[in-house]
Chain A
Amino acid sequence: KAGVTQTPRYLIKTRGQQVTLSCSPISGHRSVSWYQQTPGQGLQFLFEYFSETQRNKGNFPGRFSGRQFSNSRSEMNVSTLELGDSALYLCASNEEAWDTQYFGPGTRLTVL
């Protein structure tokens, strides 16, 4: 099976803009989770979607949002970008909550 894919791999935006990141899970996986990774904060959970419904949400401002489509693909959106949003955004998928999570290569977002 193909692994988790994320597009784009790299993005450069300026403050105030918005951005949409995409994640395609492994075929058959219904759960998609998003994480933000920064040198200072490490890996932090953003949200999880399961069967098109948000199942969990981390402690991030409302500027961060997401959705999941019927084919399990997921997108996350960040509006009104701030310098501190520069990070590696990782997406992970699994079949059920107790299963191994498989991560994609990430999207590196730089906000100038």
Chain B
Amino acid sequence: KQEVTQIPAALSVPEGENLVLNCSFTDSAIYNLQWFRQDPGKGLTSLLLIQSSQREQTSGRLNASLDKSSGRSTLYIAASQPGDSATYLCAVRNRETSGSRLTFGEGTQLTVNP
């Protein structure tokens, strides 16, 4: 059974700092991995999708990497801003599962202080 873990559970940083969020998964037979952000009481916003054949994806100040063999992904946020404050979730789609089913981590709650 796939398990996804995110460390740390919470992170508080001053504005302008570069930071890394970590995601690990137990079963490396994944199809892809997706990073989301969630604002309090809201739905999920997709940030980046990395297919299993890819090593990284970039969007603006965000860069996500994937090391499938070690079961790890990182989300790098450059020059953090107060507007980046949210919960960040990673989710994997397993190869053994047909369809779109995602297994989520518990998330990292990020606070960027002005």
Contacts and interface: CB of A to CB of B under 8 A. Distances in A.
Interface string B65-105: 00000000000000000000000010101000111111111
B97 A102 contact: no
Interface stretch (A11-19, A48-56, A61-69, A71-79): A48-56
Interface residues of A, number: 29
Given A97-B93, A100-B49, A106-B43, A56 B99 contact: yes
B63 interface: no
Contact of B34 (A58, A90, A97, A101): A101
Contact of A42 (B41, B42, B100, B104): B104
A103 to B, nearest CB: 4
A106 B101 CA distance: 17
A48 B102 CA distance: 10
A104 B31 contact: no
Contact of A101 (B41, B100, B107): B100
Contacts of B104: 35, 42-44
A24 interface: no
Nearest to A96: B100
Given A42-B107, A103-B46, A108-B41, A98 B99 contact: no
Chain A to chain B: the 5 pairs with minimum beta-carbon distance, closest first: A103-B44, A43-B104, A55-B99, A105-B43, A103-B43
Given A43-B89, A56-B101, A103-B44, 20 more contacts: A4-B43, A6-B43, A31-B99, A31-B100, A33-B101, A35-B102, A35-B104, A44-B104, A48-B101, A50-B99, A55-B99, A90-B43, A92-B100, A97-B99, A98-B32, A99-B49, A100-B49, A101-B34, A103-B46, A105-B43
